Structure 1
Amino acid sequence: MTTTTYNSEKAPKPVGLYPHAKKVGNLLFLSGVGPRSATSTDIPGVELDSLGNIVNYDIEAQCHSVFQNVRAILEASNASWMDLVDVTVFLTNMDDDFATYNKVYAQYFNDNQPCRTTVEINKLPTPIAIELKCIAHLKEER
Structure 2
Amino acid sequence: MTSRVAFALLLTLSIAAPLTAQPANDPVPLSFNDSGEERRFHALVAELRCVMCQNQSLADSNAQIAHDLRREVLDLMRQGKDDAEIKQFLVARYGEFVLYRPQVDSKTWLLWFGPALLLAVGGFVVARIVRQRSAASTPAPNDDEQEW
Say whether the fold is shared (TM-score over 0.5).
no
Which structure shows the bigger proportion of residues in helix conformation?
Answer: 2
| TM-score bucket of the superposed structures, by smaller chain | under 0.3
Which structure shows the bigger proportion of residues in strand conformation?
Answer: 1
Structure with greater contact order relative to length (CA < 8 Å, sep ≥ 6): 1
Q: Which has the larger radius of gyration?
A: 2
